[in-house]
A and B are shown apart, each in its own frame.
Chain A
Amino acid sequence: MQLSDRVDQVPPSGIRRFFELAEEMDDIISLGVGEPDFSAPWSARDAAIASLERGETSYTANRGKKELREAIADDQRRRYGLDYDPDEEILVTAGASEAIDLAFRALVDPGDTVAVAQPSYVSYVPGVIFAGGDPLSVPTRAEDEFKLTREVLESSGAADADALVYCYPNNPTGATMTGEELEAVADFCREHDIIVLADEIYSELTYEHDHTSIATLPGMRERTVVFNGFSKAYAMTGLRLGYAMGPPEAIKGMNRVHQYTMLSAPTTAQHAALDALENCDDDVDEMTAQYNRRRNFVLSRFEEMGLSCFDAAGAFYAFPECPWDDADAFAEELLHEEKVAVVPGEAFGEGGEDHLRVSYATGLGELKEAMARIESFLD
């Protein structure tokens, strides 16, 4: 059967090859995982089980349970000073990934250009293409510690873009942006009338400064859709629950696509999420503290073994420079020789070349062993 051109032109994810290589081998230590090693907090899981016991297995409102939207609004106000109306401006989705796809489909017309800050999560470029838009790569630079700057926006031609999508704290680099640094991006987007799609899924995993949402900067709320969810902070990836926050017309458009495709986000997961917001602050603090210690550990070890790596201050990734010219070959050799899986940065798009994504969402014992193996591999 003939695939549509839109689908046909999107290659399979570059991650896939490493996944297949790693799956063939036994006893590897994987630092290639893009999700938490923790399970969701027990309180949230327990709430999900209890909702099943009560028989709450029907659809919810398209936009998600009202209590959950209200709890999300309160949580985002308290944490980041965001102010969204739970009835009009919040949409609960099957993971932040769905929300981002909805935004592309609701806001991008054929021929529209969407600037994608890279290296980035692998879904943005395909999402833009599936929506009929033209992705424009905005490669961030190692010397900027992979932050988005006015300079790279200008030099990549983003001034002509209709929308900009980015993710900070960033997967794969672990880079974060302060409020001040975001102001330059906000200025640029206001000047050139660009819509901002801000993926803030890792917002709670910011270790050295408070997370700032670009939507809180002057004049940005009306041109921004913010994405967040429960996968990273609450270790709920498999429950598939995220949300979008934005101006009423954007959320309304996204909900139109959502109601015809997803109907509503998974009900059981919504129960877990509500409990997570009500009862799991301590779990989040504990997991964040653990990630931060591992981050310190990994960065210290890289320094000891002479592997150059900027001080990645967010998510659960370090992004060291690859000591070989060919990062792909390095990662493959490391996997075969030392049974340690990392992902070459170029799998995440332009700007990621010559780097390696090292996930520290793994227990300290394994991290310690993995670092020892990388050290011996380098010798």
Chain B
Amino acid sequence: MSSRAEILELLRENARYTTEDMARQTDLTESEVETAIEELEADGVIRGYTAVVDWGETDKERVRALVELNVTLDRETSYADIAARLAKFPEVESLRLVSGDYDFDMEVEGDSMREVSRFISDKVAPVPEITQTVTHYVMESYKESGIEFGDGHDDDRLSVSP
């Protein structure tokens, strides 16, 4: 595995590993780790670092909705044009073009259902190319970014074994 691929794998596992600990886990030196990260960032492979939050464990109310969007294209407007316009809104957490019954899969976050609903009706639905929106509010989250929510699994192994 190239050092870039190795570092990418480690950061995907835990973006808070120190460069020192990444060096210890690989055959790389600390400065090689730093270089690999700088390159990955400069080349746009790594676009950012973020925490995986289980909002159910906080006091904060957080409302999320998955929105299916159908659009019509014309000679002057491409998927990318519509996407660029939607992605600018800070409420939009993720936006993907998908295959199947609808075109865009959009994730929206807000502080209340009212806020999210208003955002979709006032900002998204009126976009001329958008012909239909279907909004699914998230009721419960079980796994995000590869991390399972819930109490986890206790280590029930014998403390010392052959």
Contacts and interface: CB of A to CB of B under 8 A. Distances in A.
Interface stretch (B19-27, B87-95, B106-114): B19-27
A15 B21 contact: no
Contacts of B21: 297, 364, 368
A15 B159 contact: no
B9 to A, nearest CB: 8
B153 A121 contact: no
B27 A33 contact: no
Contact of A293 (B10, B155, B160, B162): B10
Given A18-B160, A19-B160, A297-B24, A37 B155 contact: yes
B157 interface: yes
Nearest to B158: A19
Contacts of A293: 10, 25-26
Interface stretch (A22-30, A53-61, A72-80, A132-140): A22-30
A35 B25 CA distance: 21
Interface in B109-162: 153, 155, 157-162
A341 B25 contact: no
Nearest to B10: A293
A15 B162 contact: yes
Contact of B27 (A34, A294, A296, A301): A296
A301 B24 contact: yes
A33 B24 contact: no
A34 B24 contact: no
Interface in A251-305: 289, 293-294, 296-297, 300-301
Interface residue SS majority, chain B:
loop
Contact of B160 (A123, A289, A343): A343
Given A39-B153, A294-B25, A301-B24, A34 B159 contact: no
Interface string A338-371: 0001010000000000000000000010001000
Contacts, number: 58
Nearest to B27: A296
A216 interface: no
A34 to B, nearest CB: 5
A300 B24 contact: yes
Interface in A29-44: 30, 32-35, 37, 39
B122 to A, nearest CB: 43
Contacts of B14: 364
Nearest to B156: A238
A368 B21 CA distance: 9
Interface string B17-42: 00001011111000000000000000
A33 B25 contact: no
Contact of A33 (B9, B26, B153, B157): B157
Given A37-B155, A39-B153, A293-B10, A19 B161 contact: yes
A330 B25 CA distance: 27
A122 B162 contact: yes
Contacts of B10: 293
Contacts of B27: 296
Nearest to B14: A364
Interface in A184-226: none
Contacts of A296: 24-27
A13 interface: yes
Most buried by A among B25, B160, B161: B160
Given A39-B153, A293-B10, A28 B24 contact: no
A37 B162 CA distance: 14
A289 B25 CA distance: 10
B161 A341 contact: no
Contact of B162 (A13, A30, A301, A341): A13
Contact of B161 (A15, A39, A123, A294): A15
A297 B20 CA distance: 10
B24 A121 contact: no
A15 B160 CA distance: 7
B72 to A, nearest CB: 41
Contacts of A15: 160-162
A30 B24 CA distance: 21
B25 A32 contact: no
Contacts of A368: 21
A289 to B, nearest CB: 8
A300 B21 CA distance: 10
Residue in B10, B21, B24, B155 with the greatest tally of chain A CB atoms within 10 Å: B24
Contacts of B159: 19, 22-23, 28, 30, 32-33, 341
B4 to A, nearest CB: 16
A364 B22 CA distance: 11
22 contacts: A13-B162, A19-B158, A19-B159, A19-B160, A19-B161, A22-B159, A22-B160, A28-B159, A30-B157, A32-B160, A33-B158, A33-B161, A289-B9, A296-B24, A297-B21, A297-B24, A297-B25, A300-B23, A300-B25, A301-B24, A364-B14, A364-B21
Given A15-B161, A32-B161, A33-B157, 4 more contacts: A23-B159, A32-B159, A33-B161, A123-B162
